[in-house]
Amino acid sequence: VLSGCGVYDGTEIHEASAILVHLSRGGAEVQMYAPDVPQMHVIDHSKGQPAEAESRNVLVESARIARGKIASLAKLTTADHDAVIFPGGFGAAKNLSTFAVDGKDCKVNREVERVLKDFHKAGKPIGLCCISPVLAAKVLSGAEVTVGHEEEEGGKWPYAGTAGAIKELGGKHCVKEVTISFPVNFHVERQVSTHVDTKNKVVTTPAFMCEAELHNIFDGIGAMVKNVLKLTGK
């Protein structure tokens, strides 16, 4: 489920691409969706500032990432799919919800809320990365999610305050790294962190919530996708 095209006003493109690569590698068939609604606003990504008097449609912009193969979120039915995954990017907090403006008092897009509740009710896994776990925290009471750390740590985790908001939304936040290393038999092995809420079948990973290397973010997303696919039982 996409939320536009571009980190500051839509889907984080690297995250969406990573998800698609890992799904392809896992042998999954993919259908992309986005709500057919106007964006909250348009950001000039070269300046990081709103583009005045410009408007765009979330579905139309998301089609850029989907290479045109996309449908309105209103057409997504649980019966036709084994799992659903939400990339991050500010679009999740601006277009799929009002979290960017309203924080803990945010509202979630009606179709997004329907999809999350339907998949949860059906016992089908839900994957979310970066900022998008706030959607699950808002809609699925008591869901366990991660957005990484709860302190900024000198700018390494610039959006750490989101963890507190997740708790205020009624969710449980679990501190996780993007990638951690530890010695095993004198060799350094890498373990990518993700959180799996087995009760609710919600899988989350921090991704760009951390100022980390792109390959570490890619690996973290891969762990999330792998766990989502595992939870489908297929």
- List, by residue number, the catalytic residues: 130
For CA atoms 146, 206, 104, 106, the dihedral sign is negative
Alpha helices by DSSP H, listed for the chain, are: 13-25, 58-65, 91-94, 99-102, 110-121, 133-139, 161-168, 214-232
Measured in whole angstroms, the distance separating CA 41 from the mean position of its chain's CA atoms is: 20
Q: Residue 192, CB half-sphere, CA atoms under 13 Å: how many? A: 19
Which DSSP state fits 57? B
Which DSSP state fits 202? E
For CA atoms 182, 143, 26, 123, the dihedral sign is positive
Contact 150, 204 (CB under 8 A): no
- Rounded Cα gap, residues 106 and 93, in angstroms: 9
